[in-house]
Structures are given as C-alpha cells and as structure tokens.
A and B are shown apart, each in its own frame.
Chain A
C-alpha cells in the first residue's frame, strides 16, 4: 500500500493563479482531511470529508474548495491564490470507526509559495 499520496511536493504560484493540490489514499478510509501548517500555528484543519459526496468546513476554510467524488481522492483547490496561503499543506485519512479508530495517516505534504 502506498498510504496517502500528495502531489505536487513543491509549488510556486503567482498571486491570483489557481491550482489543485492532489491527495489520494489506498486504505479505503472514510475520513479525509486537509491541513495547513504555519510556524507557531500547529496543524489547522481546512476542510474534511466523512465519505464520498460529503464535505465540511474546518477551522480555516476561506479561499479553498474541496470535493470528494470517490473514496480514494480528495483534491484541494485554490481558486485565486494569495500570499497568505503560503504554507505547508498536509492531507490525511483515517477510519471512521466508533470514535476510537480515527488514527490519522498523513501524506508527505505540499510546500506552497505564493508570490
């Protein structure tokens, strides 16, 4: 199993450009999540999904869109990139379980710079 795969690993954008960060998992996990990590801010939840066709907002959703058409994929879209979106982005997946099985498996991350 590859686990959680994120692409690209690095990206530089100009202000106003759009792009999609890809995330795929091969563990048949119900939950998938996107986080951004900035110095001193920890891991902040952007959007998450509890299953195909179902998404919800996290702590910092503004400026990002998501969709979950399949169990495996959970892309994150930046419609008009801003310098404030410069960050490291992590995708994670987990089982739903009965509240005790939601161990998160993280991808390697995407390092995004917006100029």
Chain B
C-alpha cells in the first residue's frame, strides 16, 4: 500500500505556542485523513481532506491538503494541554487507506 511519512516524530512546545505536523507521500493520494490518539487511548478520526488545495478548520486546528495531493499539514494555534497526544495521518483509498504514518507525538510543557 501507499506509504506516508510524518515529520517531526516528536515535538515539544510550551503551552500557548503553535504546532505543525506534516504528512508526505511519494504518490498522489485520493484523500488524506488525520487522527488523534490521546495517551493511553485509541486513535480517533479528526478530519478527511479530498480536494487539491483544500483547507479545513476545526476551532484551533487547521488542516491543509497540498495542491499536488502528495502532502498535508495539521497546524494547531495556541496549544493547550488538551492537545497532548499523537497525531497520525493516513492516505489513499481502499486498502491503501489502512496504512498510517508513524505519527507525531506532541508534548506540551505548561
């Protein structure tokens, strides 16, 4: 299946700072999905992007899908302690969509 790469693997921020994680693919993706996993929990779906150049917002979270549909980003404005966790991306349709990036661990220092 398609492989997506995520960077960075770990990100430490001070509470209130912004945070961005990136998801990159070597092939064009039909769609991309983002998930969040709280410590000790299970991954939970956040959003799906389908269109080239698409931008979606959920409160302080902004998701972008690249023009070439090969990369995506998740940006959090003014992080809060509730944002702690691991953020995963998954790309492609069908069985390809079953493969995840290794995730970005967000650690927030109060």
Contacts and interface: CB of A to CB of B under 8 A. Distances in A.
B33 A45 contact: no
B75 interface: no
Interface string B47-72: 01010000000000000000000000
Contacts of B93: 97-100, 102
Interface string A91-115: 0101011111011111111000000
Contacts, number: 68
Interface residues on B, range: 20 to 34
Interface residues on A, range: 20 to 34
A100 B99 contact: no
Contacts of A98: 93
Nearest to A98: B93
Contacts of A94: 97-98
B25 to A, nearest CB: 15
Interface of B: 1, 9, 30-31, 33, 35, 41-45, 48, 50, 88, 90, 92-95, 97-103
